[in-house]
């Protein structure tokens, strides 16, 4: 016969007391991580979609992840190309398709799209589809995002319990502890108010970079992943072409140390782009490799000066391509006569 | 389903409540059986039928072996069991490997037979549960145990969910009697089990998964890294695989304790070993002793002279390498370890323990008498204080631990490299840069710039020190003499730091799921 202290109930009660203590700690932590934040970084999508809805075409549209937010200087591009710029880039973890799906309903004949996705969304299947944690955060800040997100798989609830829920807890704890410790210098940059009217992030221009966040080298992608990526890009290009929109592809800026670690993967991506992607490419990966100190807090986030140079080079390349396209069109018309 | 998901605690709470609310061991076994198959079906329900079929075949064959006295018939029944279990492994795990190598071989003589490889999924845990049932049938054949009379009891033993996917590989001799009686709740077991589960989560989610982020890019493309960087990645991998696999075992053992069932200790601070053979007594203990009892001893063990003993060791380690995966790298890894263990004066330590009779794992079987040793005595031997008794080790002990660890790290390269040629390249690169000061400076600069890896290395150092301090316990979070308040503070810190420090890319799969 069991003694009283050896009853499962005694154990369960102790577990409940322990969990109650953890819940109390969780509540304290939660106090510092309220999601109701109109100045949240992801809430800027409201402003970006508003701009694309209200800016009359033809326009230059920038699509990609956060590399475009940090590294693209829309005023520089606007001055070179002579048409208004809307920077729709936001976050690499929203996946490859999300920015494209945001743009397509607002496509306008004559628009020029500069597509500049991070290598990670081209090389990693899980990144390509978007990170559910960030996606959920975006929905919290901007419920309309649901309209633009790619449809979910049937077993996504299973994925939520098996994978995403742990990540959500991690992110919640991480964010809260960072705030408790007062190390929110980065967070002062990652705010809705840090963007200019075009959708470029400008708050980091005059800030000293924190220690650069680590970035593991890219894992070498397999053929099916690259195939899926190029197919997605080609489908987007086709839909744009049908709407009279010209699309260009640009490789993102990359820190030299990470580039060195990711060389094989980058070469594979470049090879796949050359062989299978129908979108004209504005540059080579090596053209966008900058020294590590040109970056703010990750291997994709350029600081002000390097970002200006990068934007100017991309604008020049687009301009040159557009002139060539124009010349080709004119010669076709000439030949027709 | 895997342990490091939100699904698992919910599942565990439900099974715990059901298990302790039913009366009698038959009902408890039924609860565990349904739970175990549900656990497995969460991954892919179709493979439940494979496991069920394999288990039932062994149940029936063992029953017949037990019932018949005819020696030839017993042998034939055993051969059928071996063929069905090894056949399953051959089809699902090794078929493509053999075909690929056969095609390479035949192409050398200008013959191209029309055989294709097959693309199919390796059933999760197949290497573990087939070895468990195989061990059971052999034990029945050897008359060490009677055949299980109750099919539910037997199926619950084979499919017991905590150890189903990645071990420990349990012996029927130890487990079936536990399933044959009603389990009474034991508070101290349950508390200890909870602590062990917590420790497992911390090891997996903080140490192993963070190390994986540093290790994977290097082994994916070793050609662009310097020798010191490759050495660092190898050391990181040594701890990644240890923390990953031992974490799984800790969670499995801890979960079993909640049901008042006792599983074999699978790891006993292996990196504090003073010789390669001691390492193999402390690393994946359940598998090492499985191979000792079912491969090494049947081959003759140490009964036929020194040369034969070494050959037997070599064969055992080669088979162990092949068990890990169908690749030449694993076979070579097994071979190198076999060589290291069998070399005189290299594989065995001259420590006090060795003098006390703790000879290298397989050779310690001085006679067939050892065959009858229970897993419990194996465990006792493994948990002799690693790295000697004194809190601060003698210099010679440190030298031995270092030499053993360095040798083991060298063999891990064969294990982790994505191909045999990559492994050779890594060895070459390490040898070339061994005395290249510039390469070491570059590595320091890299670490200086990479705060994440620096942090990970610091956690690793703290982890090793923690393990050293508590190395007398079966796992280092028992905190027996620590007041309750302090203990709860430690648990709370571990829970929140696990959530805080885990990689932002999420929890990775357990490495041994691949095997």
Q: Which of A270-284, B38-52, B455-469, B500-514 has the lowest mean pLDDT?
A: B500-514
Domain span at A73:
37-151+190-336
End residue of a domain, out of B334, B367, B385: B385
**In-domain check, residue B352:** yes
Structure-token pair, residue B450 = 């990479």
Tell me the pairing of strands A85-87 and A60-64: parallel
**In-domain check, residue A134:** yes
pLDDT at B366 over 80: no
Question: In chain B, which residues have their Cβ closer than 8 Å to the Cβ of A174?
Answer: 500, 504
Q: Which of A309-313, A321-325, B153-157 has the lowest mean pLDDT?
A: A321-325
**In-domain check, residue B390:** no
Are B156 and B26 in the same domain?
Answer: yes
Number of domains in chain A: 1
Q: Which of A257-261, B231-235, B502-506 has the lowest mean pLDDT?
A: B502-506
pLDDT of residue A6: 65
Give Cβ neighbours of residue B110 (< 8 Å, ≥ 6 apart): none
- CB of A21 less than 8 A from some CB of B: yes
- Per-residue pLDDT of B442-451, as tens digits, reads 888 888 777 7
pLDDT of residue B356: 35
The number of beta carbons lying within 10 Å of the beta carbon of residue B453 is 19
Structure-token pair, residue B35 = 């739970």
**In-domain check, residue B412:** no
Are B437 and B453 in the same domain?
Answer: yes
Number of domains in chain B: 3
What ipTM was predicted for this assembly? 0.77
**In-domain check, residue B392:** no
Diameter of chain B measured on Cα atoms: 74
Q: What is the mean pLDDT of chain A?
A: 84
pLDDT of residue B503: 83
Q: Which H or E element spans position A249?
A: strand A246-249
Whole-number Å distance between alpha carbons of A97 and A273: 17
Residue, of A125 and A202, whose pLDDT is higher: A202
Whole-number Å distance between alpha carbons of B145 and B137: 9
pLDDT of residue A271: 93
With cut-offs at 50, 70 and 90, classify the pLDDT of residue B363.
Answer: very low
pLDDT at B376 over 60: no
pTM of the model: 0.75
**In-domain check, residue B403:** no
pLDDT at B360 over 50: no
Are B172 and B197 in the same domain?
Answer: no
Domain span at B342:
274-385
Nearest beta carbon to residue A5 from set B187, B449, B507 = B187
**In-domain check, residue A127:** yes
B474 and B193 Cβ atoms separated by less than 8 Å: no
Are B154 and B85 in the same domain?
Answer: yes
**What is the arithmetic mean of pLDDT over A18-29?**
89
**What is the arithmetic mean of pLDDT over B26-55?**
92
- Per-residue pLDDT of A293-314, as tens digits, reads 888 888 899 999 999 999 999 9
| Residue of chain A nearest B211, judged by CA positions | A216
**What is the arithmetic mean of pLDDT over A276-287?**
91
Question: In chain A, which residues have their Cβ closer than 8 Å to the Cβ of B31?
Answer: none
Whole-number Å distance between alpha carbons of A272 and A275: 5
pLDDT at A173 over 70: yes
pLDDT at B507 over 50: yes
CB burial of A120-134 (b: ≥16 within 10 Å; e: otherwise) equals bbbbbeebbbbbbbb
End residue of a domain, out of B150, B184, B218: B184
Q: Mutate which of B185, B210, B219, B240 to disrupt the A interface (most A C-beta within 10 Å)?
A: B185
Look at phi and psi of residue B255 and say left if phi exceeds 0, alpha if psi is from -120 to 50, else beta.
Answer: alpha
Structure-token pair, residue B492 = 């709370």
With cut-offs at 50, 70 and 90, classify the pLDDT of residue A215.
Answer: low
End residue of a domain, out of B363, B385, B407: B385
pLDDT at B369 over 50: no
- Per-residue pLDDT of B253-294, as tens digits, reads 999 999 999 999 999 999 999 989 899 999 999 999 999 999
Are B168 and B82 in the same domain?
Answer: yes
**What is the arithmetic mean of pLDDT over A39-48?**
89
pLDDT at B392 over 60: yes
**Does a cis peptide bond (omega within 30 degrees of 0) precede residue B424?**
no
pLDDT of residue B446: 80
Question: In chain A, which residues have their Cβ closer than 8 Å to the Cβ of B507?
Answer: 163, 166
| Residue of chain B nearest A163, judged by CA positions | B5
Structure-token pair, residue B268 = 């006993």
Q: Which H or E element spans position A115?
A: strand A112-116
pLDDT at B370 over 60: no
**In-domain check, residue A141:** yes
From the list B280, B278, B300, B298, the residue with the least C-alpha distance to B288 is: B280
**What is the arithmetic mean of pLDDT over B186-213?**
92
């Amino acid at each position: 016969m069991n003694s009283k202290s050896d009853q499962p109930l005694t154990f369960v009660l102790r577990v409940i007391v322990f969990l109650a203590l953890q819940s109390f700690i969780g509540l304290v932590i939660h106090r510092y991580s309220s999601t109701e934040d109109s100045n949240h970084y992801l809430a800027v999508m409201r402003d970006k979609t508003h701009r694309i809805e209200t800016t009359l075409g033809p326009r230059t549209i920038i699509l990609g992840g956060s590399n475009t937010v940090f590294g693209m200087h829309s005023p520089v591009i606007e001055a070179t190309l002579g048409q208004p710029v809307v920077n729709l880039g936001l976050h690499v973890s929203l996946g490859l398709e999300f920015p494209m799906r945001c743009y397509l309903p607002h496509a306008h004949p004559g628009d020029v799209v500069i597509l500049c996705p991070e290598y990670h969304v081209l090389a990693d299947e899980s990144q390509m589809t978007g990170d559910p944690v960030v996606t959920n955060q975006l929905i919290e800040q901007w419920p309309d995002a649901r309209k633009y997100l790619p449809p979910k798989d049937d077993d996504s609830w299973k994925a939520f319990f098996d994978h995403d829920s742990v990540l959500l807890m991690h992110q919640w704890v991480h964010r809260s502890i960072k705030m408790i410790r007062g190390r929110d210098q980065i967070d002062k940059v990652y705010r809705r108010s840090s963007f200019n009217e075009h959708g470029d992030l400008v708050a980091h221009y005059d800030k000293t970079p924190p220690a650069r966040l680590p970035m593991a080298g890219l894992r070498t992608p397999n053929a099916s992943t690259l195939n899926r990526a190029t197919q997605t890009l080609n489908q987007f290009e086709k839909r744009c072409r049908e709407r009279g929109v010209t699309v260009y592809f640009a490789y993102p800026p990359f820190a030299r140390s990470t580039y060195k670690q990711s060389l094989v993967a980058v070469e594979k991506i470049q090879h796949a782009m050359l062989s299978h992607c129908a979108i004209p490419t504005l540059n080579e990966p090596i053209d966008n490799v900058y020294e590590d100190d040109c970056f703010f807090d990750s291997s994709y986030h350029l600081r002000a000066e390097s970002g200006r140079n990068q934007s100017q080079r991309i604008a020049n390349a687009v301009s040159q391509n557009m002139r060539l396209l124009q010349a080709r069109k004119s010669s076709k018309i000439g030949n027709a006569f | 389903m895997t342990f490091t998901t939100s699904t698992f605690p919910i599942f565990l709470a439900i099974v715990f409540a059901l298990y302790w609310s039913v009366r009698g061991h038959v009902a408890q076994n039924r609860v565990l059986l349904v739970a175990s198959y549900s656990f497995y079906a969460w991954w892919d329900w179709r493979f439940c039928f494979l496991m069920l079929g394999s288990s039932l075949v062994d149940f029936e064959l063992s029953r017949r072996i037990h019932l018949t006295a005819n020696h030839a018939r017993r042998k034939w029944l055993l051969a059928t069991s071996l063929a069905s279990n090894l056949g399953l492994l051959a089809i699902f795990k090794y078929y493509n490997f053999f075909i690929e190598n056969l095609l390479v071989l035949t192409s050398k003589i200008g013959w191209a037979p029309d055989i294709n490889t097959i693309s199919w999924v390796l059933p999760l845990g197949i290497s573990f549960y087939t070895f468990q049932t195989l061990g059971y049938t052999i034990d029945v054949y050897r008359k060490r145990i009677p055949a299980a009379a109750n099919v539910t009891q037997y199926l619950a033993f084979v499919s017991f969910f905590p150890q189903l996917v990645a071990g420990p590989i349990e012996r029927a001799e130890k487990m079936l009697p536990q399933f044959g009686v009603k389990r009474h709740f034991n508070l101290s077991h349950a508390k200890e089990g909870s602590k062990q589960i917590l420790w497992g989560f911390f090891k997996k989610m903080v140490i192993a998964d963070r190390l994986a982020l540093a290790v994977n890019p290097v082994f994916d493309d070793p050609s662009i890294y310097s020798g010191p960087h490759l050495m660092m990645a190898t050391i990181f991998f040594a701890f990644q695989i240890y923390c990953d696999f031992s974490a799984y075992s800790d969670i499995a053992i801890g979960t079993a304790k909640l049901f008042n069932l006792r599983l074999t200790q699978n790891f006993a601070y292996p990196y504090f070993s003073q010789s390669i053979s001691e390492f193999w007594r402390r690393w994946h203990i359940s598998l090492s002793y499985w191979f000792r009892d079912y491969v090494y001893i049947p081959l003759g063990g140490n009964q036929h002279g020194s040369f034969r003993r070494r050959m037997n060791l070599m064969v055992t380690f080669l088979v162990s390498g092949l068990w890990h995966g169908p690749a030449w790298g694993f076979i070579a890894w097994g071979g190198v370890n076999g060589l290291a263990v069998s070399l005189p004066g290299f594989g065995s330590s001259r420590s006090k323990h060795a003098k006390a009779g703790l000879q290298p794992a397989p050779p310690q079987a001085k006679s067939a008498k050892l065959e009858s040793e229970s897993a419990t005595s194996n465990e006792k031997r493994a948990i002799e204080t690693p790295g000697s008794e004194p809190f601060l080790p003698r210099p010679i002990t440190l030298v031995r631990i270092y030499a053993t660890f360095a040798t083991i790290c060298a063999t891990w390269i064969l294990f982790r490299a994505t191909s045999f040629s990559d492994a050779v390249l890594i060895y070459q690169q390490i040898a070339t840069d061994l005395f290249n000061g510039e390469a070491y400076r570059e590595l320091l600069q890299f670490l200086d710039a990479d705060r994440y890896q620096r942090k990970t290395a610091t956690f690793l150092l703290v982890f090793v020190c923690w393990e050293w301090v508590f190395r007398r316990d079966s796992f280092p979070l028992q905190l027996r003499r620590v007041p309750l308040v302090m203990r709860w503070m430690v648990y709370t810190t571990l829970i929140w730091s696990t959530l805080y420090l885990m990689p932002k890319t999420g929890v990775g799969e357990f490495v041994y799921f691949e095997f």
